[in-house]
Amino acid sequence: MGVNHELYKPFDSIGNPYHVDIANASCTTKALATPIKALMNAGITFYAVLMDTAHAATNTQRVLQFADVYGVLDELQTAKTGAAIATAELIPVLEHLMDGYAIRAPVKDGSFANIFSVVSADDSEKITVTGINKRLEEASRCPQTMGRLAYFRGMEAGTTDIVGNAASGIIVASKTKSIKLPFPDSNGRPTALIGICSGYDNELGPSRDLAMLVGDIARKTF
């Protein structure tokens, strides 16, 4: 929802089922895809994306450490994530251009995804901190994102500020970064290395997203 939901078609031109298998992605995938798609819609081109996520504990983790298996209490641990690959499936132009990993944190809910990207635009203002935040704030108020993107104005953010917000991605504007690169892209446009922090309630956000998706499918099908 807010990324590619408009592509859903229940039937083809002769009435046969068209989209049969539908995936709603993961909480981290949505926290990545929603702001990336919003910036793409604003005319920003992405050439490479690395991400990490400080993610709440999951059911794949043990409570206590045993032998060489990490426990979830009082420990940060690295973990794999399929969110980068899934995001590229949602936004095909990112295929083979995106990767990342997770860091699990000993909290029950609330996570932050960091997105580091090489980008370009026809106007250098678009890829400054101010320009990026301007486009993300506008997107958070745009009907096209279906309320799946939110904008946080505080200087610092914690899970207290995130948990309870049903958006897929909550942009922590104070953490947006941009470093101008000393070379243009192949079309002569200015480039930059940018960083975006996208918070998300990894329990409430996906639940709200699923309800919206089912409703959207029902409206288009019946």
Compute the mean pLDDT over every residue in the chain, rounded to the nearest whole number.
94
pLDDT mean over 208-212: 92
What is the distance between the alpha carbons of residues 137 and 210, in angstroms, rounded to a whole number? 24
What is the distance between the alpha carbons of residues 198 and 136, in angstroms, rounded to a whole number? 11
What pLDDT score was predicted for residue 71? 86
pLDDT mean over 142-165: 95
**pLDDT per position as a tens digit, 157-203:** 999 999 999 999 999 999 999 999 999 999 999 999 999 999 999 99
Domain 26-208, CATH among 2.60.120.380, 3.50.7.10, 3.30.360.10, 3.40.50.1820: 3.30.360.10
**pLDDT per position as a tens digit, 46-97:** 999 999 999 999 888 888 888 888 888 888 999 999 999 999 989 999 999 9
**pLDDT over 90 (residue 222):** no
Q: Domain residue spans in the chain?
A: 26-208
- 3-class secondary structure per residue, 114-182: EEEEEEECCCHHHHCHHHHHHHHHHHHCCHHHCCCEEEECCCCCCHHHHCCCCCCEEEEHHHCEEEECC
What pLDDT score was predicted for residue 214? 93
Is 27 known to be catalytic? yes
What one-letter code names the amino acid at 163?
V
20: confidence class by pLDDT, cuts 50, 70, 90: confident
Inter-residue contact 136 to 170 (CB < 8 Å): no
**pLDDT per position as a tens digit, 95-122:** 999 999 999 999 999 999 999 999 999 9
What pLDDT score was predicted for residue 133? 98
Of the two residues 154 and 24, the one the predictor is more confident about is 154
pLDDT mean over 124-140: 98
Residue 63 DSSP symbol: S
What pLDDT score was predicted for residue 166? 96
**pLDDT over 90 (residue 24):** no
Pairing of strands 111-120, 45-56: antiparallel
What pLDDT score was predicted for residue 56? 95
22: confidence class by pLDDT, cuts 50, 70, 90: confident
What pLDDT score was predicted for residue 110? 97
What pLDDT score was predicted for residue 105? 94
What is the distance between the alpha carbons of residues 144 and 139, in angstroms, rounded to a whole number? 8
| Contact residues for 104 (Cβ-Cβ < 8 A; gap 6+) | 55, 56, 57, 58, 61, 72, 76, 77, 78, 79
Q: Catalytic residue among 27, 56, 115, 132, which?
A: 27
pLDDT mean over 15-26: 88
What is the distance between the alpha carbons of residues 33 and 139, in angstroms, rounded to a whole number? 13
Collapse the DSSP code of 214 into the 3-class scheme (helix H, G, I; strand E, B; otherwise coil) and give the result: helix
